[in-house]
Amino acid sequence: MHKSCANCGSSFEITDADLAFIEKISPMFSGKTFHIPAPHHCPPCREQYRMSHRNERNLYHRKCDLTGKQIISMHSPEEPFLVYEQGAWWSDQYDPLAYGREFDFSRPFFEQFKELELAVPKLALINAKSENSTYTNYSAENRNLYMVVGGLGAEDCYYSYRVFYSKDICDCYDIYKCERCYECSESGNLYNCIFCTNCFNSFDLVLCKDCIGCKNCFGCVNLRNKQFYIYNQPFSEENYRSKVTELKKNLKLVKPDIEKLHATVPHRFAQQVQCENITGDQLWQCKDCTNCYTLKNSRDCAYTRIGENGKDCTDCNFCDNCELQYLSCNNEKNYNIMFSSLIWYCKYVLYSMNCFNSQYLFGCTGMKKHEYCIFNKQYSKKEYDDLAAKIIAHMQSTGEWGEFFPPHISAFGYNETVANDYIPLTEQEIHVKGWKWRQMQSEKEYLGPPIKIPDSIEEVEDAICEQILLCEGTGKPFKIIPQELNFYRTLGLPLPKRCPDQRHTDRMNRLNPRRLWNRTCAKCGKALQSTYAPERPEIIYCESCYLATVH
């Protein structure tokens, strides 16, 4: 079945597998199954709607509206709703049932839910069981983190995204069990590596891509179990160390040599490690997954990005350890969740936000350890079933049933959210759509003459941490924190000359786009789907030809 997207107008396909999943997850209330309609939006627009409800990196100073304590929050102090710091939100002083209300069948569901969302206090940050990690969001069980999103079991990490069980990390993206790494992405089990991508079980690598089981390599691609290599060529240990010492003095000068090597060697059409029957990229130990990206150990998923240990998840983002999820995001350890955002440790939840340790919720927000609630009002099981059935029938009549929360009811401005990272829109475009735009506070006026950032870390004095630096890319002011300076000194790295936001943008731009093109293997001619666009210069091999080449 082909349809035209109700948002962007593009044509998209709805497969038999898509329809079968929707039928499988359609809920039953009071003995009647309420069939979910086929999507009215294309996969990218469905994802855009979900991601418009997630602000990761824009943090603000404000006060807790319950305790008056000065806190860090992902919600601007200009917002009209209440924001509580974590201890206050979880305390007995906050009761989400106090905001409960009757459903009005004369009005649309989303309109009423937005009013409830504005009334119920919100968590300042999603940051649990952590120590000295105030400026950290969507994270848990960390120590000494600063400006990290998606950290779990990490220690002494800075300016990074999705860092798991790692230590001494700076400016990295999606890494697992790594230590002493800088500007590495989509990698695991690395030690003392810088500027590496898709590398595993290795140490002392510089500017390497897709290297496994290697050590002491510089500017290499596709190596397995090698040592003392430069640009894929072997060296003696003495010559290697001498040459790399010179090369590391100015890594910018080696860029042409790296690009030349990348143009001559084959590239894996996609990162699909120990996978079966899948399409997408950056997938590890996945089976029967369609058009998915950055998933680990997942089964029977579709149109899903960023998560692990998922099963039967379709149209989801940032969902870990979840089963039977549809059109949802920001979820953790759930079962049977639909059309919801920021739901943790829950079961059987519909059209809800910001709920924890609960079950059987419909149209709720800010719940904790509750069940059988609709619009934050408590019901018996029978009352819950009967009312849920009536509300769904009402939503069917208004055309809301089966749709995710529209961006205009998001608690964030579109430009604050992850959606703007992947589908950037201008302020005018946002206003035309009727969505929300956050007018960011202007940077403080920079006073004094520009400070020259030394090219060598040996020239940097401790006083640099008290000074304001200017980003060479955007001109925005930024600072070096003392922990960060110690990290650069330990690894012998020069100070960055671009601000953290620009460095994050640069990393995102280096990733392959999360969409598929039809390609053919440059060696055997096999048809495949790759995140490498046809016009790109890389030589693309299918999995079989690639493995035969590198082993």
Say if residue 157 is in the same domain as residue 245. Answer: yes
Alpha carbon distance, N-terminus to C-terminus of the chain: 42
In Å, how far are 30, 460, 472 from 465, measured between CA atoms?
63, 10, 18
Say if residue 94 is in the same domain as residue 177. Answer: no
CA dihedral 294, 300, 304, 309 (to 10 degrees): -50
- For 47-68, give one letter per residue: b (16+ CB within 10 A) or e: bbbbbbbbbbbbbbebebbbee
CA dihedral 46, 516, 423, 497 (to 10 degrees): 140
Say if residue 155 is in the same domain as residue 264. Answer: yes
Say if residue 114 is in the same domain as residue 173. Answer: no
Query: 462 φ, ψ to 5°?
Result: -60, -30
Dihedral sign of CA atoms 474, 480, 481, 485 in order = positive
pLDDT at 122: 97
Say if residue 122 is in the same domain as residue 83. Answer: yes
Domain annotation covers residue 174: yes
Burial of 305 (0-12, 13-18, 19+ CB in 10 A): buried
> Which residue's entry shows tokens 């509750």?
370
Mean pLDDT by 10 residues, the chain (551 residues): 92 95 96 96 95 95 96 94 95 96 98 97 93 93 96 96 96 96 97 97 97 97 97 97 92 90 94 94 96 96 95 96 96 96 97 97 97 98 98 97 96 95 92 91 56 89 92 91 96 94 92 93 96 94 94 80
Domain annotation covers residue 162: yes
pLDDT at 474: 87
Domain annotation covers residue 86: yes
Domain annotation covers residue 41: no
Say if residue 121 is in the same domain as residue 156. Answer: no
Say if residue 124 is in the same domain as residue 155. Answer: no
Domain boundary among 432, 448, 471: 432
Say if residue 192 is in the same domain as residue 253. Answer: yes
Q: Rounded to whole angstroms, how far apart are CA atoms 327 and 341?
A: 9
pLDDT at 448: 57
Domain annotation covers residue 320: no
Q: DSSP assignment, residue 467?
A: S
Domain boundary among 400, 432, 464: 432
H, E, C per residue of 348-372: EEECCEEEECCEEEECCECCECCEE
Domain annotation covers residue 334: no
Domain boundary among 233, 268, 303: 268
Say if residue 186 is in the same domain as residue 247. Answer: yes
Q: Rounded to whole angstroms, how far apart are CA atoms 364 and 1?
A: 34
Domain annotation covers residue 543: yes
Say if residue 163 is in the same domain as residue 253. Answer: yes
Token pair recorded at residue 389: 């059935």
Say if residue 170 is in the same domain as residue 222. Answer: yes
Instruction: Name the percent of the chain in helix, strand, coil, to the closest 5.
Output: 25, 35, 40
Residue 545 is part of which domain span?
Answer: 517-550
Number of domains in the chain: 3
pLDDT at 449: 66
Domain annotation covers residue 18: no
Say if residue 106 is in the same domain as residue 176. Answer: no
Query: Which positions ≥6 away from 298 have C-beta within 8 Å?
Result: 283, 286, 287, 289, 292, 304, 307, 308, 309, 310, 311, 313
